[in-house]
């Protein structure tokens, strides 16, 4: 009997010891609520237990300086585009206009000096004309079209530098297509004018070649070209205006450009 009591006392001591060793959170679990376990943090945050073996997120996403420059090429096109915009917004270089007599509205040309030289050199080099005949041609072109190769006149029936009409206009298109030229371009229309002057309008061309290189020659060449080549409907009004423009503006300008070494 005494031995049985001794064993009972030992079992009670073991049971109490086991109950005392259970964590409080587990002892409080009743089975109705989810089990939560609090994990105590170490006392020293800088200890090895606090640092995770995996690299920090910042270290994973960090890119070396060399790789950053390679992975961001879009910055250079933005700088080039900005530079292009700045260049595009720069004002155009002003062109020197052929307009020397400001108090006379009749003495002006609708082209700049660069374009003026293109026509003058073509008439000199390709047609062999002197300055008097060149001034006559340019004055008539100004009067007819204002040097606009795409000019439409006569209620839609006339076109180009010389305001060609009907069969002559059709021939302009055919000639340019055969020669591989653009009928709207300066080159195409000047080449067609040369073809006409050396062909069906050779009489007008011979008169231009015979014009003396003087102010009187300018007046004669202006009349001959207008009458025998252009033959406009208002010829009586066109000739005096062209002669004034050729003698007082274009002819002196040719000499000035020659003296300046540009022509």
Domains by residue range for the chain, with CATH: 2-61 (no CATH), 113-259 (1.10.530.10)
Q: For position 237, what pLDDT does the model report? A: 87
Q: For position 21, what pLDDT does the model report? A: 57
- Mode of pairing for the β-strands spanning 164-165 and 158-159: antiparallel
- Mode of pairing for the β-strands spanning 152-153 and 158-159: antiparallel
Q: For position 146, what pLDDT does the model report? A: 94
Please report where in the chains the tokens 């005392």 appear, as a residue: 20
Residue 106 DSSP SS3: coil
Residue 232 DSSP SS3: coil
Q: Is residue 190 exposed (0-12), middle (13-18) or buried (19+ Cβ within 10 Å)?
A: buried
Q: What is the largest CA-CA distance in the chain?
A: 163
How many other C-beta atoms lie within 10 A of the C-beta of residue 107?
16
Q: Write down the pTM of the prediction.
A: 0.63
Q: What is the pLDDT of residues 45-101, one digit of tens each?
A: 555 554 455 555 555 555 555 555 555 555 555 555 555 445 445 445 445 556 655
Residue 229 is given by DSSP the state: I
Residue 153 is given by DSSP the state: E
Distance CA 210, CA 116 (A): 23
Residues of the chain whose pLDDT is less than 70? 1-103
């Amino acid at each position: 009997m005494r031995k049985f009591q001794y064993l009972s006392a030992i079992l009670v001591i073991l049971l109490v010891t086991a109950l005392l060793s259970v964590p409080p959170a587990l002892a409080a679990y009743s089975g109705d609520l989810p089990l939560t376990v609090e994990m105590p943090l170490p006392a020293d945050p800088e200890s090895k237990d606090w640092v995770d073996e995996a690299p920090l997120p910042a270290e994973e996403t960090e890119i070396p300086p060399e790789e950053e420059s390679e992975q961001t090429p879009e910055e250079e096109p933005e700088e080039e585009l900005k530079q292009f915009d700045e260049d595009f917004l720069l004002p155009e270089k002003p062109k020197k206009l052929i307009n020397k007599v400001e108090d006379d509205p009749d003495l002006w040309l609708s082209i700049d000096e660069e374009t003026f030289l293109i026509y003058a050199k073509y008439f000199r080099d390709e047609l062999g004309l002197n300055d008097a005949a060149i001034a006559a041609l340019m004055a008539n072109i100004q009067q007819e079209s204002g040097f606009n190769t795409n000019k439409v006149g006569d209620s839609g029936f006339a076109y180009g530098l010389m305001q060609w009409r009907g069969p002559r206009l059709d021939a302009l298109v055919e000639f340019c297509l055969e020669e591989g030229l653009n009928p709207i371009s300066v080159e195409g229309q000047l080449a067609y004018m040369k073809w006409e002057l050396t062909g069906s309008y050779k009489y007008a061309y011979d008169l231009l070649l015979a014009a003396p290189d003087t102010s009187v020659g300018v007046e004669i060449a202006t009349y001959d070209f207008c009458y025998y080549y252009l033959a406009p409907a208002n010829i009586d009004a066109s000739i005096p205006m062209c002669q004034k423009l050729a003698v007082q503006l274009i002819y002196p300008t040719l000499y000035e450009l020659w003296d300046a070494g540009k022509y």
